[in-house]
Amino acid sequence: MKLLVLNHKMNIEYSVLNNYIKELSNIKNNNIKLVVCPSDIYLLKFKENGFTIGGQNSSFDKKGNYTGEVSAEQLKSIGADYCIVGHSERRKYFAEDDNTINRKIKLLLDNDIDPILCVGETLEQKNAGVTKEIIMDQIAKALDGIRKDKIENVIIAYEPIWSIGSGMIPTIDELQNVILFIKDSLKKVDCNIKVLYGGSVNEENISYLNNIDKLDGFLLGGVSLDTKRMSKLTNKL
Ligand code: PGA
């Protein structure tokens, strides 16, 4: 069973939401589990239509005077089971650092929400051959101080920054190497965790990417906005 996390980012107009939900509901496949991460204002709507939902972000604090923020507790109260954390766009545009990410993950876990932690290297870092170091550093800092039994609820999404929205994807060998590296590193501390791949996944390359051994699923950006493309993609899984 592959986990497909649909990261809508700041997309989808309200005027097309009902139609989108109707078409996405028609996708039936026992080999996949969909987690829809829409803009917060649509979360309840997806929940009411029977979807598993996740936030795209949550606050680093429990509650209080933080204009524009949504807490882990609030997400849980409307039925969210997942939340994306540390997406490269949040690291870049909202100055989200490792310490903030760590705080968010702890609060999500306290509220029984599975954090989907995004990690990945830039093109410069890839070319410098430091991908594994970068990823391990991000993971270690994000999971610092979290109990082992809790860590198993964290899902890691490997998203090379250079592949997000670019149409470029790593080779199967490169991906296989990184996925196994992440899994093995966490196994060394007795943690079995799920690992996803994200970055320019689409209905064309999904069959190719599905060859990666031990991969638990995919984080889908652009393709997740188009239900016809989603239908083609899921048909190949
Ligand atoms: P993409 O985005 O599929 O459009 O590359 C993935 C992501 O940013 O999660």
Q: Whole-model pTM above 0.95? A: yes
User: Considering only CA atoms, which residue is closest to atom 3 of ligand 1?
Assistant: 221
For residue 185, the model assigns a pLDDT of 94
Check pLDDT > 90 for residue 166.
yes
- CA-proximal residue: ligand 1, atom 2 (nearest): 221
Distance (angstroms) between ligand 1 centre and the Cα of 11 equals 12
CA-nearest of 126, 198, 206 to 155 is: 198
Q: Is 37 close to ligand 1, i.e. is its CB under 6 Å away?
A: no
- Calculate what percentage of the chain has a pLDDT beyond 70: 100
Confidence of residue 190 (pLDDT cuts 50, 70, 90): confident
* pLDDT of 32: 97
Mean pLDDT of 102-126: 98
120-130 residue pLDDT tens: 999 999 999 99
What band does 104 get if pLDDT is binned at 50, 70 and 90?
Answer: very high
79 lines ligand 1 (CB under 6 A): no
Q: Is the CB of 115 under 6 A from ligand 1?
A: no
CA of 164 to the centre of ligand 1 (A): 5
What whole-number distance in Å separates Cα of residue 46 and Cα of residue 236?
24
Which of 200, 206, 229 is the pocket-test mutation for ligand 1 (most atoms within 8 Å of CB)? 200
* Whether pLDDT at 23 is above 90: yes
